[in-house]
Structure 1
Amino acid sequence: MLGNKVTMGQSLMVTVFSMVIVFLALLIISYLIKGLQNFSQKDKKKSKETIENIDLVNSEKGVEKAEESLNDEELVAVIAAAVAASIGVDVSNVKIKSIKRVSQNTPIWSKVGREEQIFNRL
């Protein structure tokens, strides 16, 4: 079809054909991504209904009871609200049985770097 000499019409035909193939591939990829998003949202809806217990891991001091003081109750309320917002359910559907602190094994420079990145996005 294409010989030693390529005419302007042939080059235009190859260009248009290539562009059509690229746009079709992008369209197929976008539909695949939408399908995966819908599929993952269905799984989230199922998991939201079954969420009853949320445990946060503790390090050295052991398990702290949430009912000990007003500050602990406020901490539980904040954690419950954050968990409910992140998974997209009502706060009344989230039941926290225990809260355990996690030790920070990361260096301070790493923590500061993460905080800077988060604050720069705001």
Structure 2
Amino acid sequence: MLGEKVTMGQSLMVTVFSMVIVFLTLLIISYLIKGLQSFSQKDRDEKTVENIEPIKTEEKQEIIEEVEYSDDEELVAVIAAAIAANIGVDISNVKIKSIKRVPQNTSVWSKVGREEQIFNRL
């Protein structure tokens, strides 16, 4: 069929034939996946029907504690220890003159998103 010279019609026929085979293979794979999903779904339905138990509802009381930093000396000691550990010197060599709170420019959502990314890496 294909000789030394390949015509445009022959190359087009090979291309179409190859594409049909690829799409048929993908179609067969998708039906196999759907069949396996329905098979595993039947097993799940049977297991969940057997394992259903009534859930007891209990009233839970929320405990809310407000933490206030009334002891500024403790806060200064913690900050001094963190700075000393970061720069690698003794705590007695760290002198803190003033502590100013930096306003938060980011939203709570972005802060929580960053914390989740950090904790997922640990």
TM-score under structure 1 length normalisation: 0.45
Greater CA radius of gyration, 1 or 2? 2
TM-score under structure 2 length normalisation: 0.45
